[in-house]
Structure 1
């Protein structure tokens, strides 16, 4: 049956599929975007990690099935989708979709390993378990790095797209966060079993990490400002990920400074405090936008809700860094043996005052982190039955590493056994949560839910 031609402004003839093009190629003011890239991103709900155009066309033809307010990419009829994909996907073709999000796996694994090292109530074999996780995490990190390097070399253009596409680009920060966890784990598991050379190596690693994360924090935000691919109504805590590696300079300083001579420990602590403040300040600028979005636009899409746990990270890691750095001032014998501050009469009181201030600030930050955790956990359980695995599930683990360690440290400084027991319980839950997510990760690989065309962050 032939349809009459439609006028440029007339309605679509009856019988033709009517695609929902609301917002296609337009910015928040309704103006048409000037470049094709902007139009490309405007077709996607940026809450979602993996929505594809096929989902839109499939729903537009009346085959939506039972959907919820925020659609998951697996709501697409798998048979119809996979009919357009070669059934025999070799390793090479799957490698094309090996994204930066895989570093969320090593980031979380390293975080859990470090948490095991600070548990106050220990049993025989706990240190061995943490050491094993530390070693395996290095192997996982090398595997990820080799795989993603092969992807960039074998498929020209994927490197540029990985950074210019925020869906994947935000996860590039997890590479540096993994490096941070490996450095902190080295202080816990490496120093007791090695020579003094490792102390010097950690000091060099600290300053190299600081330089690299400083450049990354500036350059990647510049990329985001340039591509203009984000929509303010879809803001998530993940938008602070580019500054997260720089913020963890404070956490690194709290872990490393106590192992260094005073002449090296003091500059590290100053740098750690500076960068911890930078990360927390940027997070404080982002929180009003994020909570405003929750109040006006509701919860994120189901598959994006694990990212809500990222909001727990900045206050939690800042709390543990402040306590740790204040304690390092004593352990490294910086005050009053190494430095004297002009105008202060009783220099012996400096360390005591710093510890009190750090503890008070940490308690306030911990409560804020707990509130953010509560918001995220309720949102997660509300949509968990509609969700399937994405690599962002590891966000349920890593931010809570800081939350757990901060709890333990507050309990230690208050000499409170009940709080330390709560922290130990949180660490146990965190470990089993990691096991569950890791199991789902392996299952997702087998079932072609990740590293498969249209299923990953590079699908946008």
Structure 2
């Protein structure tokens, strides 16, 4: 409306409700919920690194009650970490099933799922080392644990392999950490020879344990051959792109695992073959000695390959690694993949009666303990600062609120793609 002197009166402007330009406050989510939602399968390498300490120390030439007490302490700590990880991931599956499903199906994060089986393997070895000699463990129970582990490995590896191979992957971004999908099957041989330590050679069940160990890991083993194929892909990758850089530099030490653990398993299984095949008069009167001799020869060659990969990975490591505390979880690859060839040092010292093997084994055992101490302190610091195992409040709220049937394809695609974004914790891949 125009007034008498040509001015616009207030009535000429429509009245609109005032809009609040203040941004909405961030959602309130408890710290506990953020921790549960942000937990991942890469928490298990911490327990595996802890198990690597007492597995390495148990092979020292001269033991003592004090050393046994230290090893037992690490064994108990490993079990505590295993319970914490499994309980937290179980709560995640109950409270945030969509997040748990993402971790299982994600092509990057899913490779860490089989690590729960590897962590269980270190607990079995510790149980054999520290409960059976003291009378708290029963060989019958250990025998049952062996088949539980074998079934656990198969039932975990094959579904994860089906999920991972259901989509294509770029070889130029390949990392040795992808071999975690079949590591549990490879370690069946390691668990087997530890179980045979507490079984009598005259027991007919020892034959099944021995053959199963050779089947899954040995000169005609299942797990070792598959991991060697992964190693070949790794060599092709670094020939094309150069040494692994940044967070992937941690995964370079994973290639030490297959030859190292295979060498260890071959020599120990061959040693048990000398007794078991002879007692049961299998194959031929000299079959046990032949198996053992061939195992020592093959183990020595694989040991050399593992040492080469260790040096090959260690020389450029410091210059290629990005020193970010948020990527500390990937550094645990410095521990457990190297246990195989370090433990083989002691075996070769016994076989060839060379003192130098015992000295190098002692040095590497000390370095393993120092590495564990540094990594444990840095991991605890990163956890305290919230750099690992903690989701953003928005991510937690998004998984709490159920999706409506009217959600668009674009929103679904965006949510699906955001779940595939690698978090700082995925620092080996």
Q: Same fold (TM over 0.5)?
A: yes
Q: Number of residue pairs matched?
A: 367
Contact 2:259–2:302 (CA under 8 A) maintained in structure 1 = yes
Give 2:261's aligned residue: 317
The corresponding residue for 1:217 is 157
Are the counterparts in 1 of residues 183 and 227 from structure 2 also a CA contact under 8 Å? no
Aligned match of 1:301: 245
Shift in Å at residue 353 of structure 1?
Answer: 2.3
Flag structure 1 segments of 5+ consecutive residues without an equivalent.
1-83
Question: Which of 132, 137, 143 does residue 191 from structure 1 map onto?
Answer: 132
1:338 aligns with 280
* 2:14 corresponding residue in structure 1: none
1:255 positional shift: 0.7
Report the equivalent of 2:304.
Answer: 367
2:74 match = 133
TM-score normalised according to structure 2 size: 0.81
State whether residues 234 and 300 of structure 1, in contact with CA within 8 Å, keep that contact through their aligned partners in structure 2.
Answer: no
The answer on whether the counterparts of 1:319 and 1:406 sit within 8 Å (CA) in structure 2 is: yes
* Deviation (angstroms), 1:421: 1.3
- Structure 2 gaps of 5+ residues are 1-24, 392-422
1:102-154 deviations in whole A, cap 9, x for unaligned? 01111111122121111113345111100111011111111111111111211
CA distance in 2, matches of 1:289, 1:351: 35
How many angstroms apart in 2 are the aligned matches of 1:440 and 1:85? Answer: 30
Task: Please report how far the alpha carbon of residue 205 of structure 1 lies from its aligned counterpart in structure 2 after TM superposition.
Answer: 0.9
Structure 1 or 2, whichever has the larger Rg, is 2
In structure 2, the CA distance between the partners of 1:121 and 1:385, relative to structure 1 (3 Å rule), is farther
Counterpart of 1:379 in structure 2 is 316
Q: Distance in 2 between matches of 1:382 and 1:121?
A: 37
Task: Give the superposition deviation at 1:455.
Answer: 3.9
Q: What is the alpha-carbon distance in structure 2 between the residues aligned to residue 257 and residue 310 of structure 1?
A: 27
Please, what TM-score do these two structures have when normalized by structure 1? Answer: 0.76
Distance in 2 (alpha carbons) for counterparts of 1:407 and 1:87? 54
Counterpart check, 1:100 vs 2:37: no
Which of 210, 215, 227 lines up with 1:274 in the alignment? 215
**Cα gap change, 1:457/1:370 in structure 2, threshold over 3 Å: closer, same or farther?**
closer
**CA–CA distance in 2 between the matches of 1:265 and 1:338?**
10
Distance 1:253 1:130, change over 3 A: same
State the Cα distance separating 1:269 from its structure 2 match.
Answer: 0.8
SS at match of 2:38: coil
Contact 1:121–1:421 under 8 Å retained in 2 = no
Equivalent residue number for residue 432 of structure 1 = 370
Q: Is the 8 A contact 1:302 1:387 kept in 2?
A: no
CA drift at 1:89: 5.7
3-state DSSP of counterpart to 1:192: coil
| Structure 2 match to 1:75 | none
Post-superposition shift, 1:85? 7.5
Which residue, 156, 180, 186 being the options, matches 1:247?
186
Residue pair 2:330, 2:426 contacting (<8 A) in 1 also: no
